[in-house]
C-alpha cells in the first residue's frame, strides 16, 4: 500500500538505498550518496513509500515537479528487492507457502509503483513528464512499456554518463506530453 513519505525518516530510507547497492539508481559517480531528501510539502516533490501490511518498506517513489512549467522533471523509483525474501519470511507458515508469500511481496510493490505512475500520468496538472535512465538499467524494459501505454517517446545518447565504476554509459531520456498522454 502506498503511504505518504512524511511518516518515515530520511536516514531510514537512505540506509535501504545504500544497503541495496544499486548500480544504475543514480547518475552519480560515487557510491555513498544520500539521494532521498524529504521535502516539507508536495509543491516541488511528490513522494510515496510502498509498504506491506506488516509495515515493511518495499519501495520509495518520488517525482520532482516544476510548478512554473507544470511538468514532472525527473523520477526516482526504487524497489528494495534485496529485502523481499526477508520480508516474506515474516509471512511463511510452511515451506509450500514460501514462493506464494515472496510473490505477494513483489506484487504489492509492483502495484504500488503502478499506482504512483498512474497518479502522475493521470494528473491534469502536469503537461509533461520527463525522466532519464542509464541504458543498461534493467528497468528500461518497464519504461518502454510506459512509452507504449502512455504514448511517450524515448531518445538514446550513447557514451553519456560516467558511473562509480569509472565506465561510460548511455542514457535514455523519456518524455510524455499531455497532448499524446493516453492509456492503452
- Listed by start position, the domains of the chain span 2-127
Q: What is the pLDDT of residue 112?
A: 95
* Backbone angles phi and psi of 60, in degrees to 5: -135, 130
Q: What is the pLDDT of residue 33?
A: 54
pTM: 0.83
Share of the chain above pLDDT 90, in %: 47
Q: Burial letters for 161-182: b for 16+ Cβ neighbours within 10 Å, e otherwise? A: bebeeeeebebbebbbebeebe
* Backbone angles phi and psi of 159, in degrees to 5: 45, 60
Average pLDDT over residues 160-182: 83
Q: What is the pLDDT of residue 165?
A: 80
E strand spans, the chain? 2-4, 45-51, 57-66, 71-79, 128-134, 153-162, 168-177
The string of pLDDT tens digits covering residues 30-73 is: 455 557 889 888 899 999 999 988 888 999 999 999 999 999 98
Average pLDDT over residues 85-111: 68
Give 107 or 105, the one with higher predicted confidence: 107
Mean pLDDT of the chain: 83
Concatenated DSSP letters of 142-173: HHHHHHHHHT-EEEEEEEEEE-TTS-EEEEEE
Amino acid at each position: 500500500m502506498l503511504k505518504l513519505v512524511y511518516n518515515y525518516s530520511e536516514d531510514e530510507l537512505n540506509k535501504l538505498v545504500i544497503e541495496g547497492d544499486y548500480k544504475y539508481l543514480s547518475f552519480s559517480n560515487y557510491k555513498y550518496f544520500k539521494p532521498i531528501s524529504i521535502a516539507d510539502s508536495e509543491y516541488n516533490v511528490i513522494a510515496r513509500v510502498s509498504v506491506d501490511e506488516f509495515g515493511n518498506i518495499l519501495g520509495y517513489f518520488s517525482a520532482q515537479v516544476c510548478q512554473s512549467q507544470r511538468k514532472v522533471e525527473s523520477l526516482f523509483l526504487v524497489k528494495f528487492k534485496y529485502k523481499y525474501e526477508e520480508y516474506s519470511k515474516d509471512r511463511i507458515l510452511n515451506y509450500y507457502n514460501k514462493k506464494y508469500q515472496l510473490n505477494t511481496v513483489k506484487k504489492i510493490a509492483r502495484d504500488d509503483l503502478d499506482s504512483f505512475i498512474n497518479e502522475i500520468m493521470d494528473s491534469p496538472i502536469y503537461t509533461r513528464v520527463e525522466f532519464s535512465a542509464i541504458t543498461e538499467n534493467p528497468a528500461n524494459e518497464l519504461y518502454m512499456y510506459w512509452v507504449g501505454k502512455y504514448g511517450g517517446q524515448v531518445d538514446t545518447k550513447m557514451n553519456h554518463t560516467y558511473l562509480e565504476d569509472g565506465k561510460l554509459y548511455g542514457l535514455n531520456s523519456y518524455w510524455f506530453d499531455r497532448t499524446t498522454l493516453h492509456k492503452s
